Amino acid sequence: MKTTLAALLLLTGTAHAEPWTALDVTLQLTTSAVLVADWAQTRAITGDCSEANPIMGLCGEKLSPDIYFPVVIVGHALLMHALPRSWRRVAQGITIGVQAHTVHSNYQAGYSVKF
């Protein structure tokens, strides 16, 4: 699992159609990091059958977090690959903000970041 996670982080940080700046790469790696933190928390949340994401279901019965999050991480990187730099940075910033809020809320509810 940790090897797969490291590979995903590396791949999402280097996928691009045009040359990325250090800021572009940093934003994508940060996006991936907060998604991974949410993934770790969601594994515990679905274990408690209290997940709010309707795609996964309360207990992860519709779609496992271990399928959902790798698809989201790679899908996000591919989408960023297709966007012009100015739109990419906006999308990455929004994703980071939303995911950081989610991770913080989950943490306040008692869910730490553990795999």
Minimal CA–CA distance to 48: which of 2, 103, 110? 110
Across 4-57, the runs of DSSP E, i.e. the strands, are none
Q: Report the alpha-carbon distance of residue 56 to residue 39 in Å, rounded.
A: 12
Minimal CA–CA distance to 76: which of 3, 18, 9? 9
pLDDT at 65: 98
Q: Report the alpha-carbon distance of residue 52 to residue 59 in Å, rounded.
A: 10
Answer whether 0.85 is exceeded by the pTM.
no
Structure tokens that stand for 23 in this block: 């800021």
φ/ψ (deg, to 5) at 86: -65, -40
The 10s digit of each residue's pLDDT in 76-106 is 999 999 999 999 999 999 999 999 999 999 9
Q: Please state, as a whole number, how many other Cβ atoms lie within 10 Å of the Cβ of residue 25.
A: 15
